[in-house]
């Protein structure tokens, strides 16, 4: 694996938004065929990091290389599934149309029927198990189905790197498991590389090769065993935390009050919490 | 019927009215898709200032409406606008300023020219009074809109679905937004000419709003919007013509009939789509499978 070149190389990335520093010196590499989880609480900077990788936000410092070239030049290698798209229930757009836009949405002229295009769209629908609702309006689908539709939109050009923002956030337990299975299958069957964010790492642990743990814009990178340790995470959080293992699940908790950052506790008390 | 079709004003009304129906249906679908209905309404209202000015300066009313709609469009873009709330704010401010100008020009029309009824025809249209010389400019405007929308059909839809996804496909949402305002201005000008600046919204939003509820594909929505708009405009023209006999020599305005018909179509579509939803929720999906093997 190490003799391959990384498909995504992020080095010393710093991003400011609205005059505030959101990401600081984030570095990690992602190799072909890996699934990398980007873990962090709400507001940690996960979405900002993904949008920077995609060239939707410009960084203050640092570099992003996709397939060894600057990110903007290699967008066709990347498929992106945003956290939430609000599809109006009345939007006259079938799942199949949304997927086709992923293939030729940038083209000029009218989208005439084309057997080859239809075949490619059908393949993408099949890959995510969306055949059943291919001819339904996107806005009428359930959250999980909409997500599959958007994944098919991202997959239809056969990208090498698939980036998903909190795909598990709004799913019930069963759908979440089905989605994790799907990601695993994409890696094996389509030789894809996957970068996925989540605020809870547990559902992804069975499939993840690496993780980037993001706290307040700073990151620790490595395998689960390397990163999810009390010592590493305490340094990242800036106060002592414990890592609890229970039934194959991992819990990261701040240490008991007497050990915790007293100033922090006082601040909470001051807000009447 | 022969008398109806052979009348010169009726012919002009049918041609210009059809232009307005087709262009508003097409642009209306994109406007509703992007949630831009308020901006469309504002552009139409503000274009009345241009219409009023055209009486004052003796230029073509189509150019007047168009010029003012474009000025307003770029004003909104300039003042604007990332978030929806800011967009509404910028739109409202431009709307207010534009209507103020309109008030001034209409006042000057009345006091300095011999034009009577300028206010009514600018605001509410007078389809039977349109000069024949406006037929070709209206057709050209419609062709320009169809060409541009046909060319940028997919990028426009992709941008309406989600600007980020569009950016990732190499489509610039900002340019698409400008293009949208440009063609919206053209559509508004033709509609304002036909049924008046204030009522143009009805033609722009009504058929599109109704069609979208009934369609599963963008092209289908555009088709139904065109059918609804054409039906409303043609029937409206016929009813206005006939109303001369209904109300013993007092013909009612075309715009009134057009707007009422559009409203009825919209109500029908609303009931139609809620019936469709109920039908679906009862889980008769197997029935649909049978219909679509
Ligand atoms: N456009 C913006 N301007 C200023 N601050 C922003 C902007 N977008 C996000 N932020 C801030 O950046 C931080 C990280 O946000 P985000 O990347 O969305 O976090 P996450 O996806 O991990 O929940 C948050 O504190 C958020 O308030
Ligand atoms: Mg986020």
- The residue extents of the domains of chain A are 8-227, 228-273
Q: Which of B29, B65, B24 is nearest to B44 (CA)?
A: B65
Q: Is residue B38 part of a domain?
A: yes
pLDDT at res. A110 = 92
Nearest CA to ligand 1 atom 10: A17
Q: Is residue B2 part of a domain?
A: no
Distance A200 CA to ligand 2 centre (A): 13
Chain A positions in Cβ-Cβ contact with residue B151 (cut-off 8 Å): 108-109
pLDDT at res. B198 = 82
Q: Do A105 and B168 touch (CB under 8 A)?
A: no
A8-227 — its CATH code? 3.40.50.300
The CATH number of the domain holding residue B81 is: 1.10.3470.10
Q: Quick one: tokens of B203?
A: 């033609």
**Residue B96 contacts residue B86 (beta carbons within 8 Å):** no
Q: What is the mean pLDDT of residues B40-51?
A: 87
Percentage of chain A exceeding pLDDT 70:
93
Q: Is residue B1 part of a domain?
A: no
Please give, rounded to a whole number of angstroms, the shortest distance from the CA of B45 to a CA of chain A.
26
Q: Do A111 and B154 touch (CB under 8 A)?
A: yes
pLDDT at res. A248 = 81
Sheet holding A210-215, edge to edge: A78-81, A161-164, A193-198, A35-39, A210-215, A218-222
Distance B164 CA to ligand 1 centre (A): 16
For chain B, what is the mean pLDDT? 85
A238: left (phi > 0), else alpha (psi -120 to 50), else beta?
left
For chain A, what is the mean pLDDT? 88
Reply yes or no on whether the pLDDT at A104 is more than 90: yes
Residue-number span of the structural domain to which B251 is assigned: 9-291
Which ligand lies nearest to the CA atom of residue A46 in the structure?
1
User: Which tops the pLDDT comparison, B111 or A154?
Assistant: A154
Q: Which of A167, A152, A161, A162 is nearest to A103 (CA)?
A: A152
Other beta carbons less than 10 A from residue A189's beta carbon: 9
Confidence of residue A272 (pLDDT cuts 50, 70, 90): very low
Q: Do B150 and A106 touch (CB under 8 A)?
A: no
Ligand 1 contacts CB of residue A21 (under 6 A): no
Reply yes or no on whether the pLDDT at B5 is more than 90: no
Please tell me the distance from the alpha carbon of residue B18 to that of residue B289, in angstroms, as a whole number.
38
Reply yes or no on whether the pLDDT at B289 is more than 50: no
pLDDT at res. B229 = 95
pLDDT at res. A271 = 44
**Residue B194 contacts residue B18 (beta carbons within 8 Å):** no
Q: Which of A88, A100, A97 is nearest to B32 (CA)?
A: A88
Write the pLDDT tens digit of every residue in B47-86: 988 888 888 888 888 899 999 999 988 888 777 655 666 7
Whose tokens are 């039906």? That residue is B231
In terms of residues, how long is chain A? Answer: 273
Whose tokens are 């010196």? That residue is A25
Reply yes or no on whether the pLDDT at A4 is more than 70: yes
Residue of A nearest to B277 (CA): A140
Q: What is the mean pLDDT of residues B224-240?
A: 93
Nearest CA to ligand 1 atom 25: A43
User: Which tops the pLDDT comparison, B4 or B114?
Assistant: B4
DSSP state of B191: H
Reply yes or no on whether the pLDDT at B223 is more than 60: yes
Query: Torsions phi, psi of A162, nearest 5?
Result: -110, 125
Please tell me the distance from the alpha carbon of residue B9 to that of residue B129, in angstroms, as a whole number.
7
Which of A32-36, A170-174, B112-116, B176-180 comes out lowest in average pLDDT?
A: B112-116
Confidence of residue B249 (pLDDT cuts 50, 70, 90): confident
User: Which tops the pLDDT comparison, A170 or B256?
Assistant: B256
pLDDT at res. B142 = 95
Chain A positions in Cβ-Cβ contact with residue B166 (cut-off 8 Å): 105
Q: What is the mean pLDDT of residues B161-190?
A: 91
Which ligand lies nearest to the CA atom of residue A51 in the structure?
1
pLDDT at res. B248 = 78
Write the pLDDT tens digit of every residue in A206-215: 899 999 999 9
Question: Which CA distances in Å does A40 have to A27, A34, A195, A197, B54?
Answer: 15, 19, 14, 8, 61
Which of A48-52, A228-232, B32-36, B82-86 comes out lowest in average pLDDT?
A: B82-86
Q: What is the mean pLDDT of residues A249-268?
A: 67
Confidence of residue A219 (pLDDT cuts 50, 70, 90): very high
Whose tokens are 């088709």? That residue is B223
Q: What is the mean pLDDT of residues A9-31?
A: 94
Write the pLDDT tens digit of every residue in A25-68: 999 999 999 999 999 999 999 999 999 999 899 999 999 998 87
Q: What is the mean pLDDT of residues B105-124?
A: 78
Distance A159 CA to ligand 1 centre (A): 27
Q: Where are the beta strands (DSSP E) in A33-120?
A: 35-39, 61-66, 69-70, 78-81
Question: Which CA distances in Å does B112 have to B56, B106, B243?
Answer: 8, 10, 34
Q: Quick one: tokens of A58?
A: 């410009």
pLDDT at res. B93 = 85
Please tell me the distance from the alpha carbon of residue B293 to that of residue B286, in angstroms, as a whole number.
11
Reply yes or no on whether the pLDDT at B280 is more than 80: no
Which of A28-37, A41-50, A194-203, B119-128 comes out lowest in average pLDDT?
A: B119-128
Q: Which of B260, B278, B259, B258 is nearest to B270 (CA)?
A: B278
Confidence of residue B288 (pLDDT cuts 50, 70, 90): very low
pLDDT at res. A16 = 94
How many domains does chain B divide into? 1
Q: Is residue B124 part of a domain?
A: yes
pLDDT at res. A265 = 52
Reply yes or no on whether the pLDDT at B283 is more than 80: no
Question: Which CA distances in Å does A266 have to A144, A167, A215, A263, B144?
Answer: 41, 36, 21, 5, 66
Please tell me the distance from the alpha carbon of residue A19 to that of residue B124, in angstroms, as a whole number.
49
Please tell me the distance from the alpha carbon of residue B249 to that of residue B246, in angstroms, as a whole number.
8
């Amino acid at each position: 694996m190490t003799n391959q070149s990384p498909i995504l190389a992020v080095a010393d990335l710093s991003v400011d938004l609205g005059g505030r520093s959101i990401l600081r010196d984030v570095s990690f590499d992602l190799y072909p065929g890996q699934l990398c989880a980007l873990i962090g609480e709400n507001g940690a900077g996960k979405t900002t990091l993904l949008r920077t990788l995609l060239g939707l936000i410009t960084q203050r410092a640092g570099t992003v290389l996709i397939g060894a070239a600057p990110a903007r030049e290699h967008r066709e290698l990347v498929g992106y599934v945003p956290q939430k798209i609000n599809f109006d229930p009345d939007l006259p757009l079938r799942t199949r149309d949304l997927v086709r836009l992923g293939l030729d949405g940038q083209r000029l002229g009218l989208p005439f029927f084309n057997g080859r295009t239809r075949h490619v769209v059908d393949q993408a629908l099949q890959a995510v198990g969306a055949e059943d609702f291919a001819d339904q309006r996107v806005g009428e689908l359930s959250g999980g189905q909409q997500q599959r539709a958007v994944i098919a939109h991202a997959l239809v050009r056969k990208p090498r790197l698939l980036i998903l923002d909190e795909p598990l956030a709004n799913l019930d337990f069963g759908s979440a498991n089905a989605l994790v299975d799907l990601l695993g299958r994409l890696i094996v069957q389509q030789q894809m590389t996957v970068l996925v964010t989540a605020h809870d790492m547990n559902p992804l642990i069975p499939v993840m090769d690496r993780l980037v743990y993001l706290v307040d814009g700073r990151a620790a990178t490595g395998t689960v065993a390397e990163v999810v340790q009390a010592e590493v995470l305490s340094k990242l959080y800036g106060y002592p935390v414990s890592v609890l293992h229970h039934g194959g699940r991992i819990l990261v908790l701040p240490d008991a009050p007497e050990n915790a950052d007293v100033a922090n506790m006082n601040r909470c008390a001051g807000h009447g919490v | 019927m022969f008398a109806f079709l052979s009348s010169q004003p009726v012919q002009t009304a049918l041609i210009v009215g059809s232009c307005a129906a087709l262009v508003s249906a097409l642009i209306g679908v994109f406007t509703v898709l992007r949630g831009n209905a308020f901006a469309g309404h504002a552009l139409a209202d503000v274009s009345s200032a241009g219409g009023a000015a055209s009486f004052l300066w003796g230029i073509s009313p189509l150019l007047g409406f168009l010029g003012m709609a474009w000025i307003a469009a770029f004003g909104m873009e300039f003042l604007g606008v990332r978030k929806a709330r800011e967009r509404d704010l910028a739109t409202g401010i431009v709307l207010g300023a534009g209507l103020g100008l309109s008030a001034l020009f209409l006042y000057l029309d009345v006091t300095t020219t011999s034009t009577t009824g300028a206010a009514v025809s600018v605001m509410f249209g007078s389809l039977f009074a349109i000069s024949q010389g406006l037929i070709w400019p209206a057709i050209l405007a419609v062709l320009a809109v169809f060409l541009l929308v046909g060319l940028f059909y997919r990028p426009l839809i992709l941008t309406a679905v989600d600007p980020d996804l569009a950016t990732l496909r190499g489509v610039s949402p900002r340019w698409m937004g400008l293009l949208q305002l440009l063609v919206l201005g053209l559509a508004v000008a033709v509609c304002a000419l036909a049924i008046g600046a204030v009522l143009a919204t009805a033609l722009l939003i009504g058929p599109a709003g109704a069609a979208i509820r009934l369609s599963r594909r963008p092209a289908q929505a555009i088709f139904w919007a065109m059918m609804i708009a054409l039906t409303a405009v043609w029937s409206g023209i016929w009813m206005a013509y006939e109303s001369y006999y209904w109300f013993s020599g007092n013909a009612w305005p075309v715009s009134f009939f057009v707007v009422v018909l559009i409203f009825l179509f919209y109500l029908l579509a609303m009931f139609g789509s809620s019936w469709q939803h109920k039908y679906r929720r009862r889980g008769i999906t197997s029935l649909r499978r049978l219909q679509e093997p």
